[in-house]
Amino acid sequence: MDRKTYTAELAGLRELRTGITAAEKAVAAAQKELDKLTGQRARRVAGLAGYEGAQAAAVAKASGLSVGDVVRIAPLLDPTPAAVRAAKADDQAAGASVPAPVAEPVAEPAAAVAPALTRPAVAVAVVERPAPAAPVAAAPSVESSASVAPVAPVAAVAAPVRPVVEVGPRELPALPEGSAGARFEAVTTGLVSKRPNFTQQARSTVFLDATAGTLAVRDQVVRVDLGARTPGEILDAVLATAPGTERIYITAGAPWHDGAERYSTLKDAVAAWLNTPSERWTTAVGSGRDKLAGHFVHQRQPVGRYAPAASPDGGSTEIRSMGEWFDPDGADVVTCRQAFTLLWQALRRHWDDAVLMGSPSQTGRDLWSRTIPTSGKWAGGYPVLSEELRGLLHATGGQGRTELVLPPRVPEQLPALVEYDRTFAYAKHLWKSPVGTPRRITAQAFAAMSEQEQTKALMSCSHWNVRVTVPAGWQHVGLLPAPVTGDRAWVYPATPGATFVTWAGGAEVHLVLSNHLMPWKVEILGGLLWEDGKPLDEWGKRLKAAWADLTNLSRVHGDERQRTAAYLASRAVRSVLLFGLGGFAQRPRLVSGTTPVGETLPAGVEILGQDGEVVTWQRQAGFSRDPYAHPEWAAYVWSGARAALLDMKYRQGKEVIGHAGALHARPGTVVYFGTDGIALTERQPWPYRGEPGDYLLKGHLSGPVEHPASQEQYLKLRALGRAELAANGAEKQ
Residue range 400-407: mean pLDDT, rounded? 92
Q: What is the pLDDT of residues 84-141, one digit of tens each?
A: 444 444 444 444 333 433 444 444 433 343 443 544 433 444 444 333 333 333 333 3
Cα–Cα distance measured from residue 146 to residue 134, given in angstroms and rounded to the nearest whole number: 18
Residue 285: predicted pLDDT: 72
**What average pLDDT does the structure give for the chain?**
82
Phi and psi angles of residue 365, each rounded to the nearest 5 degrees, phi first = -70, -40
Q: Does 87 fall in a domain?
A: yes
DSSP designation for 169: B
Residue percentage of the chain with pLDDT more than 90: 50
Q: Summarize the confidence of residues 415-440 as an average pLDDT.
A: 94
Evaluate if residue 74 carries a pLDDT over 50.
yes
Which position has the higher pLDDT, 355 or 166? 355
Model pTM above 0.85: no
| 655 pLDDT more than 60 | yes
- Domain-embedded: residue 153: no
User: Burial, 620: exposed, middle or buried (Cβ in 10 Å; 0-12, 13-18, 19+)?
Assistant: exposed
H-helix segments, 275-409: 333-348, 360-369, 387-396
Q: Are 630 and 679 in contact (CB under 8 A)?
A: no
Higher pLDDT, 692 or 107: 692
pLDDT of 458 > 80? The answer is yes
> Which residue did the predictor score with more confidence, 155 or 71?
71
Helices assigned H by DSSP within 557-690: 560-585, 631-646
**Is residue 643 a part of any domain in this protein?**
no
Given this model, what pLDDT does residue 51 score?
Answer: 63
296 - beta bridge partners? 303
Residue 703 and residue 400: Cα distance in Å, rounded?
Answer: 28
d(CA 87, CA 250): 47
Q: How far is it, in rounded angstroms, from Cα 295 to Cα 246? A: 15
Tell whether 67 is covered by a domain: yes
What span, in angstroms and rounded, lies between the C-alpha atoms of 371 and 369? 5
- Whether 10 is in a domain gets the answer yes
pLDDT tens, position by position, 164-194:
334 467 788 888 887 788 888 889 988 999 9
Q: Give the Cα separation of 217 and 241 in Å (integer).
A: 9
CB of 165 within 8 A of CB of 145? yes
Residue pair 673/403 in contact by the 8 Å Cβ criterion: yes
H helix or E strand, kind and range, residue 241 = helix 231-241
pLDDT over threshold 50, residue 721: yes
AA identity, residue 274:
L
Distance of CA 29 to the CA centre of its chain: 38
The pLDDT value given to residue 364: 95
Nearest to 317 by CA among 333, 295, 344: 295
Average pLDDT over residues 521-538: 94
Q: CA 634, CA 640: separation in Å to the nearest integer?
A: 10
Q: Among 377-386, 401-410, 599-608, 696-705, which stretch is predicted with the lowest mean pLDDT? A: 599-608
Confidence of residue 659 (pLDDT cuts 50, 70, 90): very high
Amino acid identity at 420? Y
Q: What is the pLDDT of residues 471-508, one digit of tens each?
A: 999 999 999 999 987 656 899 999 999 999 999 999 89
Rounded-to-10 torsion of CA 40, 46, 48, 53: 160
Whether 47 shows a pLDDT value over 80: the answer reads no
Give residue-wise pLDDT tens across range 290-346.
333 578 888 999 999 998 888 777 678 999 999 999 999 899 999 999 999 999 999
Residue 704: asked if its preceding bond is cis (omega within 30°), the reply is: yes
Share of the chain above pLDDT 70, in %: 81
What does the pLDDT look like over 250-304, one tens digit per residue?
999 999 999 999 988 898 899 899 989 999 998 887 544 333 357 888 899 999 9
**pLDDT mean over 622-651:** 89
Burial pattern 514-541, b for ≥16 Cβ within 10 A else e, equals bbebbbbbbbbbbbbbbebbbbbebbbb
Chain mean position to CA 341:
28
- Asked if residue 59 is part of any domain, the answer here is yes
Q: Which uninterrupted H or E stretch holds 453?
A: helix 451-459
- In 3D space, the residue among 421, 427, 644, 374 whose CA is nearest the CA of residue 545 turns out to be 427
d(CA 288, CA 644): 44
User: What per-residue confidence (pLDDT) applies to 59?
Assistant: 81
What is the rounded average pLDDT of the residues 624-648?
Answer: 92
- Which backbone phi and psi does 252 adopt, to 5 degrees? -160, 150
Ramachandran quadrant class, 526 (left: phi over 0; alpha: psi -120 to 50; beta: rest): left
Kindly indicate the confidence band of residue 620, based on its pLDDT and cuts at 50, 70 and 90.
low
- The span from the CA of 641 to the CA of 259, in Å, is 40
What is the number of structural domains in the chain?
1
Indicate if the alpha-carbon torsion angle 528, 534, 536, 540 is positive or negative: positive
- Check pLDDT > 90 for residue 410: yes
What is the residue-wise DSSP string for 117-152? -SSS--EEEE-SSPPPPPPP---S--TTSEEPPP-S
Task: Find the mean pLDDT for residues 55-60.
Answer: 78
Question: pLDDT tens across 216-250, in order?
Answer: 998 899 999 999 999 999 999 999 999 999 999 99
For residue 75, the 8-state DSSP code is G
What per-residue confidence (pLDDT) applies to 688? Answer: 92
Whole-number pLDDT of residue 306: 92
Residue 64 lies in a domain: yes
Cα distance between residue 205 and residue 202, in whole Å: 9
623-644 in b/e burial notation, b at 16+ Cβ within 10 A?
beebbbbbbbbbbbbbbbbbbb
| pLDDT for 488 | 65
Query: For position 589, what pLDDT does the model report?
Result: 59
Kindly give the pairing relationship between strand 281-283 and strand 304-308: antiparallel
Query: Quick check: 322 and 250 in contact, CB under 8 A?
Result: yes
Computed from CA positions of residues 522, 525, 528, 529, in that sequence, does the dihedral angle turn out positive or negative? Answer: positive
Residue 2, SS3 per DSSP = coil
Q: Tell me which residue range forms the domain holding 30.
A: 3-94
By the 10 Å C-beta count (0-12 exposed, 13-18 middle, 19+ buried), 239 is classed as middle
Calculate mean pLDDT across residues 140-163: 32
What's residue 155's pLDDT? 30
Mean pLDDT of 672-697: 93
Radius of gyration of the chain (CA): 28
Rounded Cα distance, 509 and 522, in Å: 8
Residue 40 lies in a domain: yes
DSSP classification of residue 303: B
